Structure 1
């Protein structure tokens, strides 16, 4: 029997579906974070993720991860968890389009982190791309200044930038995870680590959700889990440089969902900033596969 080869176009399509699903999940999580706080939203989504993925992991009789894999799962779950919490805390305070645009800084930051941790050489293209992306962040900041943004909006933006820095670190760990663990294992153990960490603070920062909220919680968990598996599959079957452009469709989805669900309007400054950040990322990774610029919800 001839072995079927996955084409780049197929991997691209799968990644596109994954990004669209993540964007819908972001909208659901923003609504839950507004109503009940980002801590509760992230905590119970993680618990729901464990409930959904745990039985599948057991039924398929996958082997328990070894010490090296568990160490990576704990490390990435911790870093990615902090990133996700900061992201949704910030997303409550800014528009979805602006929040997602700022997360596009992650792949650039990951290039510099890879140089610092893995000994990779920082290329001129990465430096040039960083300068272009910095202009994008400045454009978004100018837009906030002209709109007389409140201190809450500014803090939300800063939280998302910090989330992008942490997420860049999680991308480095994700690339290592993908070499020794399949997508289901990565998604499950990320949820387990995040849920366990947040349960520690639950008595002070969260409450058990009402029954009416659980459909939304499990819906967000299902979207996030399916998206994580789809993206992990896509990046296993195609190079990051082939799939990187599809990641930026998240900005379009966030603008559409932000307007239709929350009545948010995208300013020209936000669009200009997003385009500059995207351009900077593409310049930085030109001619060399780079870390996937996945959205924050990828955790």
Structure 2
């Protein structure tokens, strides 16, 4: 394994995903969220198919053991994507990014409830700290002066998206027991494309040349980012790479400032820092526990 190579791939993926979000946001005044989901999913498929073919995994990517599991993965994922894209059109990019950090915190809670994973006091405390950070980000929106109808809808959408993304992660953890990664990646893009077509009656429009270029670009680079993200885990452990997810807030601040004239408030920055600290604490603790389990295994084998 090459940790530095993995970190470089992970940072590249996070950076490209932020560009993708900026492109979706730029087109949010032109097309509805369901149409944006279609472009994001459909135009990512050629990139993913090419990648699977080059790896020799295309045949594996087409085979499924549990079709219904892929159906639910697609439904949950496309709902998370649609609500997230709606929020991008209603809230500043840095704020959407910061509130999206609630997803990994909620994953910890859902893993304890749905997967019966043990929720230790340290991890529970870190999750509570992270949720405090989310409230700090939201605090200006909770006043009567700071919460108009559009902002209220945006906040609701990104929080719903965070819940759905966390549920998707739990669902994927169950799927990997029977489904290859290639199949999960390919069929998610396929099902997301098909589910997005259901939103046609709600007002799809022709986006024009610039809008179409933005949306097609979002789909293509989204596929590239997905591949880079997947590849990063071949070179470094998840615990090493996880903290670099939080680089997205730095990229979001830069893109928000230069392209959308969005300046993050002090509360967004403070809340983001609290959420990031909570996430890093969880990652650090899990890594420590992993090291302890690794040391315990040789001792157990010596007794046998």
* TM-score class, shorter: 0.7 to 0.9
Which of 160, 180, 205 does residue 158 from structure 2 map onto?
Answer: 160
CA positional deviation for 1:77 = 1.7
Equivalents in 1 of 2:32, 2:51: separation in Å? 29
Give a deviation string over 1:139-169, Cα, whole Å, max 9, x none. 1222234662322112211210110011011
Equivalents in 2 of 1:178, 1:237: separation in Å? 19
Equivalents in 1 of 2:66, 2:211: separation in Å? 34
CA positional deviation for 1:134 = 2.0
Task: Please state if 1:181 is matched with 2:180.
Answer: yes
Task: Please state if 1:78 is matched with 2:75.
Answer: yes
Equivalents in 2 of 1:144, 1:211: separation in Å? 36
**Larger CA deviation: 109-118 vs 207-216:** 207-216
Equivalents in 2 of 1:55, 1:17: separation in Å? 19
Give a deviation string over 1:48-102, Cα, whole Å, max 9, x none. 2234444665675721543335444322221111111101101211111110011
**Larger CA deviation: 20-29 vs 134-143:** 134-143
Which of 251, 273, 276 does residue 274 from structure 2 map onto?
Answer: 276
Q: Is the 8 A contact 2:47 2:224 kept in 1?
A: no
Which of 219, 222, 225 does residue 227 from structure 1 map onto?
Answer: 225
TM-score (norm 1): 0.86
Q: Is the 8 A contact 2:73 2:168 kept in 1?
A: yes
CA positional deviation for 1:289 = 5.3
**CA RMSD in angstroms, aligned pairs only:** 2.4
Equivalents in 1 of 2:73, 2:247: separation in Å? 25
Distance 1:61 1:93, change over 3 A: closer
Distance 1:233 1:35, change over 3 A: same
CA positional deviation for 1:11 = 0.8
Equivalents in 2 of 1:150, 1:244: separation in Å? 35
Aligned to 2:136: 139
Equivalents in 2 of 1:215, 1:69: separation in Å? 36
Q: Is the 8 A contact 1:77 1:194 kept in 2?
A: yes
Distance 1:95 1:8, change over 3 A: same
Which of 21, 44, 48 does residue 26 from structure 1 map onto?
Answer: 21
Which structure would you say has the larger Rg?
Answer: 2
Distance 1:211 1:266, change over 3 A: closer
Task: Please state if 1:114 is matched with 2:139.
Answer: no
Q: Is the 8 A contact 1:125 1:286 kept in 2?
A: no
Give a deviation string over 1:149-191, Cα, whole Å, max 9, x none. 32211221121011001101112233455664245x4433211
Aligned to 1:123: 120
Task: Please state if 1:7 is matched with 2:2.
Answer: yes
Task: Please state if 1:217 is matched with 2:215.
Answer: yes
**Larger CA deviation: 277-286 vs 202-211:** 202-211
Aligned to 1:190: 188
Could you tell me which runs of 5 or more consecutive residues in structure 1 were left unpaired when the two chains were aligned.
1-5, 291-299
Task: Please state if 1:93 is matched with 2:90.
Answer: yes
CA positional deviation for 1:213 = 3.4
Which of 58, 64, 70 does residue 62 from structure 1 map onto?
Answer: 58
Q: Is the 8 A contact 1:239 1:289 kept in 2?
A: no
Q: Is the 8 A contact 2:100 2:158 kept in 1?
A: yes
Counterpart secondary structure, 1:285: helix
How many residue pairs get aligned? The number is: 284
Equivalents in 2 of 1:211, 1:178: separation in Å? 40
